[in-house]
Amino acid sequence: MSQTPVDVDPRVRRSREAVLAASVALFVAGGPRAVTVDAVSEESGVAKTTIYRHWRDRAHLLADTYRACLPVVPVPDDGRGPQEALRDVVRCLVRGMGQEPTRPALPHLIATPLDPVESRALPADVMDQTFAPLVLSIQRAASSGVIPPDTDAMEAKHQLVGFIIMSAIDPACAMDDVLADRITDLFIRGRQGQGQ
Amino acid sequence: MSQTPVDVDPRVRRSREAVLAASVALFVAGGPRAVTVDAVSEESGVAKTTIYRHWRDRAHLLADTYRACLPVVPVPDDGRGPQEALRDVVRCLVRGMGQEPTRPALPHLIATPLDPVESRALPADVMDQTFAPLVLSIQRAASSGVIPPDTDAMEAKHQLVGFIIMSAIDPACAMDDVLADRITDLFIRGRQGQGQ
DNA sequence: GGCTTATGCTACGCTACCGTAGCGTACTAC
DNA sequence: GTAGTACGCTACGGTAGCGTAGCATAAGCC
């Protein structure tokens, strides 16, 4: 539902894209609460009745909006070695989190799944999928000895993701590869010298 | 406004406390959106008109609710040395974030200040005050050489706060001194071995 | 016990939002 | 060109929430 096929009536395609773009803009600016069907209609120029022709109700529209705000992080290339793979994933994550629309939407992305009303049509693990490649990289780094083999992958994930998200929330922070590499280095160094 | 004096009419005191308790419970369960005056009235057993006698409008009530959800972290004792002081602050922060009502309210605490509607009556730096003691400890640790003197205090804050918050958001995570000390150790070790 | 004051209750008016119905128009595909 | 279909528009009915008014009651203070 979040991906519109190419070979459809161009009118449908236009409407869907306009609606989703407006919806994302509203979500970024004011969170789930700002994504009202009336506001989306006005912002997009698409009639409210048309919106309801494409989405069953507001909850389904919000679910698609939420997904559209999450960055896509590719699964790390296995060929480059575990340390480089981890570095790459962190770079992708930092860049993704630093970009529009993710960055300004971040606080809302964190809070929405917990809202008992807004999370109705939202799969419980949408957010987790974004960090799946990172967890994979952490596990590979552990099993290959870059970090201790007994590393708690969830704890390590909290450590890295927390650092990245807090940086992205701070508007003064540059979300570039320099930061990404610093995060990776501080992470690995802290784990390496570990006297179990 | 968030602290009710002791020497007032006990009826006022009772009402204020009942309202704030109900308001916090609703905020925890459903975020700022769930804190409606009608819901608070029903949940607390205090008449809606009485609520409006104590708070100018819903925004002011929400501001007090927000503050009531934040943990209080004492300024570190200077006598114990910078490393122990940092350890203490992180312990307090971890415990505070792990407790009710802060823990379940955390995602909402992060998102609310960014909501253009909900943040109306919310001072911009309420959240920052919670982490001020941590920043102080980081600066002392830096100036005393526990971590490099040229440490970026804001970056270090993101690193520590991010780790703590992500742990607190994960319901499977135990927010105790063991975790706090691990967080501190991983932080310091990563910074110490740093090859400028 | 009597005065003061906080509270409870009911009933408002107003606004925003959800989701639907019906009908005319404009676009697309063939 | 013509049929099919997506779209826009207007107008609903219903609900939830905000903030207020007026009056009766009950609690606290001396």
Q: What pLDDT, on a 0 to 100 scale, did the predictor assign at position B86?
A: 97
The parent domain of residue B30 ranges over 10-68
Question: Chain B partners of A159 at a C-beta cutoff of 8 Å?
Answer: 162-163, 166, 183, 186
Judged by a CB distance cut-off of 8 A, whether residue B174 touches chain A is no
Q: Average pLDDT for residues A23-49, to the nearest whole number?
A: 97
CA angle B6, B10, B15 (to 5 degrees): 100
Q: Shortest Cα distance from A63 to chain B (angstroms)?
A: 18
Same domain for B58 and B153? no
In a domain, A30, yes or no: yes
Distance CA B147, CA B184 (A): 11
Interface test with A, best of B166, B184, B192, B194 (most A CBs within 10 A): B166
Q: With contact defined as beta carbons under 8 Å apart, do B106 and B169 qualify?
A: yes
Output the DSSP codes for A26-51: HHHHH-GGG--HHHHHHHHT--HHHH
- Read off the CATH number of the domain in which A84 is found: 1.10.357.10
**Alpha carbons A59 and A106: distance in angstroms, whole number:** 19
Answer yes or no: do B127 and B178 share one domain.
yes
How far apart CA B174 and CA B95 sit, in angstroms, is: 10
The residues of chain B scoring below 70 in pLDDT are 1-7, 194-196
Domain membership of residue B3 (yes or no) is no
Out of B51, B68, B85, a domain closes at B68
Residue A195, pLDDT > 60, answer no
Identify the pLDDT of residue A1: 45
State the nearest Cα–Cα gap between A16 and chain B, in angstroms: 26
Do the beta carbons of residue A127 and residue A158 sit within 8 Å? no
Mean pLDDT on A119-143 = 93
What whole-number distance in Å separates Cα of residue A64 and Cα of residue B10? 51
Predicted confidence at residue A183, as pLDDT, reads 98
Domain-terminating residue out of A41, A68, A95 = A68
Average predicted confidence (pLDDT) for chain A:
94
The gap between A156 CA and C18 C1' (Å) is 43
Residue B77: per-residue pLDDT: 81
Per the CB < 8 A criterion, the answer to whether B62 and B121 are in contact is yes
Distance CA B149, CA B194 (A): 12
Angstrom distances, CA of residue A38 to CA of A27, A43, B162: 14, 9, 36
Q: Looking at the C1' of nucleotide D28, which residue has the nearest alpha carbon?
A: B9
User: In this structure, are B175 and B84 located in the same domain?
Assistant: yes
| Helices A58-69 and A10-30, packing angle to 10 deg | 80
Which chain A residues are closer than 8 Å to B162 by Cβ?
159, 161-167
Residues A140 and A177 in one domain: yes
Nucleotide whose C1' lies closest to the alpha carbon of residue A54: D6
pLDDT over 70 (residue A178) = yes
pLDDT tens track for B148-189: 999 999 999 999 999 999 999 999 999 999 999 999 999 999
Higher pLDDT, B115 or A132: A132
Does residue B1 sit within a domain?
A: no
Query: What pLDDT does residue B196 have?
Result: 43
Task: Point out the residue among B117, B170, B183 whose CB comes nearest to the CB of A154.
Answer: B170
Instruction: Please tell me the predicted confidence (pLDDT) of residue A124.
Output: 84
Interface A:B, Cβ pairs < 8 A: 119
CA distance to partner chain A, nearest, from residue B177 (Å): 15
Q: What is the nearest CA distance from B117 to chain A, expressed in angstroms? A: 8
Question: Are B120 and B96 part of one and the same domain?
Answer: yes
Mean pLDDT within A42-67 = 97
Indicate which CATH number applies to the domain containing A50: 1.10.10.60
Does pLDDT of A120 surpass 90? no
- A76 and A156 fall within a common domain: yes
User: Is the separation of the CB atoms in A149 and B134 below 8 Å?
Assistant: no
| A 51-110: CB under 8 A from B | 104, 107-108, 110
- At residue B127, the pLDDT reads 92
Taking the stretch 23-62 of protein chain B, residues with Cβ within 7 Å of any atom in nucleic acid chain D are 35-39, 48-49, 52, 57-59
Enumerate the residues of chain B whose CB falls inside 8 A of the CB of residue A155: 167, 173, 182
- Chain A CB contacts of B110 under 8 Å are 107, 110-111, 169
Residue from the list A115, A173, A189 with its beta carbon closest to the beta carbon of B31: A115
- Nearest nt (C1') from A59 Cα: C18
* Amino acid A196: pLDDT: 43
Output the pLDDT for position A110: 95
Residue A6: per-residue pLDDT = 62
DSSP symbols for B125-188: THHHHHHHHHHHHHHHHHHTTSS-TT--HHHHHHHHHHHHHHHHHSTT---SHHHHHHHHHHHH
Same domain, A42 and A84: no
